[in-house]
Amino acid sequence: MPILNVQISQGLSAAQKTALLQKMTQAIVDSVGAPLASIRIILQEIPPEHVIVAGEPGKEMALVTANLIQGRSDELKAALIAGVANAIEQSTGISTQNVRVVLYDIPKTDLGVAGGKTALAAGR
């Protein structure tokens, strides 16, 4: 854990997508100290005709939904939001002004981890 779903405007090169995933992974490690083995990121590209940002159809954007095991401080969450937004801007050129990050705290009893155990049973 964390598990991130990233919706981003279509049109990035393969190199940009790879850089995005790598930079976001490092941002998660750096900001909340998550072990690399626990990080999952899913990237979905959205066609421009399916997006409107501030009334502007087709504008570049990114929306990140992050599921975290409950218990991180407000400061760590703020660091994660900033780190993810910056990773997106650095790797894709999409301004942090057009990036949104939504965090969900998941109770340890409501998350399955490696081995088919709850996070609580796994000692997380």
Catalytic residues: 2
The domains of the chain, with CATH numbers, are: 3-118 (3.30.429.10)
* pLDDT digit string, tens, across residues 7-66: 999 999 999 999 999 999 999 999 999 999 999 999 999 999 999 999 999 999 999 999
Of residues 4 and 123, the one with the higher pLDDT is: 4
pLDDT band, very low/low/confident/very high, at 113 (cuts 50, 70, 90) = confident
**Rounded to the nearest 5 degrees, what angle is found at the Cα of 8, between the Cα atoms of 75 and 27?**
30
Cis peptide upstream of residue 107 (ω within 30 degrees of 0): no
Q: Tokens 């409950």 correspond to what residue?
A: 70
CB 93 within 8 A of CB 82: no
pTM of the model: 0.89
Compute CA distances 68 → 14, 59, 65, 71, 93, whole Å: 27, 29, 10, 9, 26
107: pLDDT strictly greater than 80? yes
